[in-house]
Amino acid sequence: MTTYTLTLKLNSTKDAQLIDYLQTLPAGTKQAKVRKLLLSGIMEERAANRLKNDNNPPTAPAAPAQPEAPADPEPTTEQPKLTWQERLRQGLPTKAQEILAGKKIMCISGSRDMTREMKFAPERVLWNAHKEGYAILVGDAPGVDTAIIRAAQKLNIPVVVFGITEKPRLDVGSNPYIHVKRSTYHARDQIMIDLADRWIGLWNGRSYGTKDAGRYAQSRNKPATLIAYPKVQPRQSAQQMALVQ
């Protein structure tokens, strides 16, 4: 009897038993052929499996997903609170805001009936305020208001004009006009004073409205100056007075 010695690296007990059985078969032609085919089939399958394993090495099990850390809350920049005066200014038209931006604001008002002694006062007060860096608020009434607007046009100083009519009652040029939707000059003056940092009044010595505006400015803790120009002797100069309580 011819026997065959096979040197194979067996992967399982079942494969080893099959090879042992094939080796016991007689060495006849038919049986030997069958045995050869079976053995070659086993070896080919082994080789195929080995090649497959080499190309696809076992991968380590994936690590469990770590829970994502909660995102840091975005820093919130708290907007600074605006004062009531700043909110009031933001409600003005764009052109008026441009004139007032970054400047101290002065409200100039005065009597409707100007005395002879007051003739040059509006232009002088306006020019001094402009040199000190103030932006100017003024009404559109006759008298001091009108004189301030004309002086502003002459000196090319921008001013913001307030009035109680829908359209200005005089030529304000390129200066912005703010319509105060209230029916009294007293209310208009209060809004201008609320917007301003300082008030100056040119007074003829008789009118009540200018003095009332000065008292309102004081009640709002605004620096207030009343300059009196009563009817006096021609050689007597105008004098600056504190507010008459």
Q: In this predicted structure, what is the pLDDT of residue 134?
A: 97
Cα separations in angstroms, 165 against 12, 112, 144, 157, 188? 108, 17, 18, 23, 11
Q: In this predicted structure, what is the pLDDT of residue 70?
A: 64
Q: In this predicted structure, what is the pLDDT of residue 8?
A: 42
Q: In this predicted structure, what is the pLDDT of residue 3?
A: 33
Q: In this predicted structure, what is the pLDDT of residue 223?
A: 96
By DSSP bridging, strand 224-228 and strand 134-139 are unpaired
CB atoms within 10 A of CB 118: 24
Both tokens assigned to 93:
């038209």
pTM of the model: 0.62
Query: Mean pLDDT per 10-residue run, the chain (245 residues)?
Result: 39 58 59 57 58 58 64 64 73 90 95 89 96 96 95 96 89 91 79 95 91 94 91 46 38
Cα separations in angstroms, 110 against 65, 118, 208, 238? 79, 10, 10, 14
Q: In this predicted structure, what is the pLDDT of residue 93?
A: 87
For 161, residues 6+ apart whose C-beta sits below 8 A from its C-beta are: 138, 139, 140, 149, 168, 172, 175, 176, 177, 178
Q: In this predicted structure, what is the pLDDT of residue 133?
A: 96
Q: In this predicted structure, what is the pLDDT of residue 207?
A: 87
What's CA 196's distance to the chain center, in Å?
25
Dihedral of CA 18/24/30/33: which sign?
positive
Q: How far apart are CA 178 and CA 174, in angstroms?
A: 13
Q: How far apart are CA 110 and CA 237, in angstroms?
A: 18
